Amino acid sequence: MQNRHELGQASRIVVKIGSALLTGGGRGLDQTAIADWVAQIARSAQSGREVLLVSSGSVAEGMCRLGWKSRPGSLHELQAAASVGQMGLVQTWESLFQRHGLHTAQILLTHDDLSNRTRYLNARGTLLTLLGLGVIPVINENDTVATEEIRFGDNDTLAALVANLLEAELLVILTDQPGLFERDPSLDPTARLIHEARTSDPHLGEMVGESRSGLGRGGMVTKLRAARLASRSGASTVIVGGREPDVLTRLLAGERLGTLLVSDETPLQARKRWLAGQLKLKGTLHLDAGAARVLRESGKSLLSIGVTAVEGGFVRGDLVACVDLDGSEVARGLVNYGAEEARLIMRQPSHRIETLLGYVDEPELIHRDNLVLS
């Protein structure tokens, strides 16, 4: 995605809405504003797009319900506020989306869920299934159980990691500012809005400042960081004022709103580099001639029936190489079954996996989305 006109072509979008917007600056959930965003997301989903929503606001809503005027510093108090606020947040999203005939699903994540390969695959599989069912996933950090060591730190980062997880083409961050300015507009009213830039532009880092709302943990620093993180999987990011009338609809129609930060690479290039260079190979799957040909020519998923031998002691989620009869690497990918399980189901059709193992995680040994050709 290289320009405004291509925004409407994005088929999978992550939308992140910040605490200050959702709670009207801390006064409790702004039902009117949320209903408007829901209507826009519903129109987008009903037009055929897949939309994932990353929702802040649980701590801020909990503070409001508990009568707290300032954000607590204690981790346990933050977790308690999140627990209270999450109830109202989920009820609000579900009831408003139901008006448009759409179901929602609550997804609570910690950093460990996306750094652990097995949990990564489980989270990805669940979210893809929900999208396939036409459900709107409502994602938040699992503040109730997250500790300082594993928490994302802000929902901007969480939204970027979700974009990475699902290879979304576009991340939209709705905020209480019109976009990214060349200087802090509260200090310099003449500062100009940056309409478009590349995420790799080193000058962008000099233009951002910390959050002053006291409600979220974000600010333009985290939004720029999130855009750069999202760009690693090829997603472009728009930072835009959430209170702009009909903002999502106009944005996806190509109107110049907010700041568009364009990724420097395609999703395929980014994912291939990640699989090829950042994970250590844990094993090898030897393929028959037919399976090797299918991977090379069609890029389809690897099925167990095409595997003739298994090397290594890998577990579900590890990176393995796929080699042909001559020992040449055909592809590599994240495997859905451990080595011992793979040995039991190799040379067998997918419909026999449950009989052989007593359960079935996935019908493929490696799904095509987690596999790149060498």
Query: What's the pLDDT at 211?
Result: 46
User: Order of strands, edge to edge, in the sheet holding 236-241?
Assistant: 104-109, 136-141, 50-55, 12-17, 170-175, 236-241, 259-262, 196-198
Classify residue 203 as exposed, middle or buried by CB count within 10 Å of its CB (0-12, 13-18, 19+). Answer: exposed
Q: Are strands 371-373 and 329-334 parallel, antiparallel or unpaired?
A: antiparallel
Tell me the pLDDT band of 341, cut-offs 50, 70 and 90: very high
Last residue in a domain, options 271, 306, 334:
271
Specify the pLDDT at position 78: 84
- Residue finishing a domain among 218, 240, 271: 271
Which of 212 and 116 is assigned the larger pLDDT? 116
Q: How far is CA 133 from CA 74, 123, 126, 130, 217, in A?
A: 39, 15, 11, 5, 33
Q: Do 241 and 324 belong to one domain?
A: no
Same domain, 55 and 137: yes
- Predicted confidence at residue 330, as pLDDT, reads 93
Kindly report the CATH number assigned to the domain that includes residue 310. Answer: 2.30.130.10
How many other C-beta atoms lie within 10 A of the C-beta of residue 22? 27
Residue 278 pLDDT more than 50? no
Share of the chain above pLDDT 90, in %: 48
Rounded to whole angstroms, how far apart are CA atoms 150 and 178? 31
Q: Are strands 236-241 and 196-198 parallel, antiparallel or unpaired?
A: unpaired
Please state, in angstroms and rounded to a whole number, the distance separating the CA atoms of residues 15 and 10. Answer: 12
Residues 348 and 262 in one domain: no
Contacts for 152 with CB less than 8 Å, ≥ 6 apart: 109, 110, 111, 141, 146, 158, 161
pLDDT-based confidence at 137, cuts 50/70/90? very high
Residues 262 and 296 in one domain: no
Least confident of 141-150, 243-252, 290-299: 141-150
pLDDT, position 1: 54
Looking at per-residue confidence, does 5 or 228 come out higher?
Answer: 228
One domain, residues 207 and 71: yes
Same domain as 60, residue 30: yes
Instruction: Note whether 92 and 108 are same-domain residues.
Output: yes
pLDDT at 37: 97
The whole-angstrom separation of Cα 99 and Cα 95 is: 7
Across residues 146-175, what is the average pLDDT?
80
Helices marked H in 23-146: 31-46, 58-66, 75-98, 111-115, 117-132
Answer yes or no: do 354 and 213 share one domain: no
Which of residues 230, 254, 271 is at a domain's end? 271
Angle at the Cα of 187 from the Cα atoms of 186 and 192, rounded to 5 degrees = 75
Q: Which domain holds residue 91?
A: 4-271
What CATH number does residue 131 fall under?
3.40.1160.10
Say if residue 105 is in the same domain as residue 10: yes
Confidence of residue 268 (pLDDT cuts 50, 70, 90): low
Per the CB < 8 A criterion, the answer to whether 19 and 213 are in contact is yes
The mean predicted confidence, pLDDT, of the chain is 86
The reply to whether 204 and 293 lie within a common domain is: no
Average pLDDT over residues 57-61: 84
Same domain, 250 and 358: no
If pLDDT is split at 50, 70 and 90, which confidence band does 155 have? confident
Q: How many domains does the chain have?
A: 2
- Tell whether 244 and 293 lie within a shared domain: no
Residue 214 pLDDT: 43
